[in-house]
Structure 1
Amino acid sequence: MLKAPLHTSNLSPKRWFYRIYTIIYTTAIFTLVYHHCCNLIHTPFTTVSLLIADLVLAFMWATWQPFFLNPIHRQVFPENLEQVAKETEYPGLDMFVCTADPFKEPPVGVVNTVLSVLAYDYPTEKLSVYVSDDGGSQLTLFAFMEAAKFAKHWLPYCKKYNLMDRSPEVYFGKDPSFFPETSELQEMYENMKATVGKAVDRGTVDLDQLSCDRTIEAFRKWTPGFTRHDHPTVIEV
């Protein structure tokens, strides 16, 4: 058992009050519905309207009650992470990020998610990140190739200064703590965003702007018959 817990969870002492209240309120609802049913003979139109309205309100109330039947108070202790790491052996960690449409899910947003995962305070050799693009878009692949270049600078920066906000968009979107490399990193990130944004605006990747033979060969898989719903498997590391 770990000497330094990462979190604790305790049942709320108010849960019994919530449960008693729920029982009383439920009884009142059934009584009201029964009353409406008994009045259907005398004033059918008005009673049916009131019955429907009360049933809708009762349904809305009932769907909200499960949150109160067993409330739990949680407390986290991120300051114990380092001690826990010393007490335990890190297991392998596989992270999966899925996307499908670069126009509905901008690649820069997906890239930020992956960069923040890669910057986890975790042994590099035991962390694997897999990106799945159901639409098979060349724009997504291009965005991650650009992100890989930026990651070579961003990940050491996060580890060196022990950043808590490891998503570049979040970090630079606030008032970041300035270190010697901050301005340079921010400029690199903005350039990456601009490069990816231009490709998304065009809707395709311009092979003439690529210099790496391996990269060009990867994008040659997108032939005229390549569509979102009908395309070969594309795997890149």
Structure 2
Amino acid sequence: MTSVLNFVILLLALSAFVVAIYFAIRAFRYKGQSAKATYNVGQVEARRSMQVDFIRAGAAFLVGLIMLGVIGWLNPFGGDVPDDQNGIIETEASPVFTAVPTTAVPSPLPTNTADQPAIIEPAITATAVPLPPTPTPLLPATETAVPLPTDTPQPTTATVQSGVGVWLRAIPSTEGEQIEWLLDGTILELLPGLESADDLDWQQVRAPSGSEG
């Protein structure tokens, strides 16, 4: 764990030194620009940038030194001494073999089978018995519903019978806007609207042209 921490801190210290070198180089570049600047404003800006970069370089260099000091504090001289230098030598344990006595198993004695009569067992033969055929189930007949014809409602109509014709007006009034002149004998579709105005009954209708009034 300590070695990993030392490696990380060392990387941070090296990064700080690299940053310090970068800002120092840029500060010297600003110093050259301030000397070449023609106007006072350019010189002042270059000097200010140079001073800021020098401060940043010094801070980064100081951080790198602090990181190196932390590494030295975590690893004092003589602190991590290998065990073999302290006189302690680790030896790997060698395996110990123990002799285990084995027990001899007596082998079976030969048996004389010449005097024993031979026994013959009858052979059993399996005979396949045919199974009766499985009856096929019959599906019941289903009745198919036949859709009945439906009566389509016919719209209620009326015929213009005034001798000369009538005006189709937008509102139920003799002063209403005249939409269309309906000749005598024109068949109109009656709509639900029915009102009374100007001592007359006004029926809402739809003309063959599609106009309503």
Shorter-chain TM band: under 0.3
Structure with higher Rg: it is 2
Report 1 or 2 for greater relative contact order, CA contacts < 8 Å, sequence distance ≥ 6.
1
What's the TM-score, normalizing by structure 1? Answer: 0.24
What's the TM-score, normalizing by structure 2? Answer: 0.26
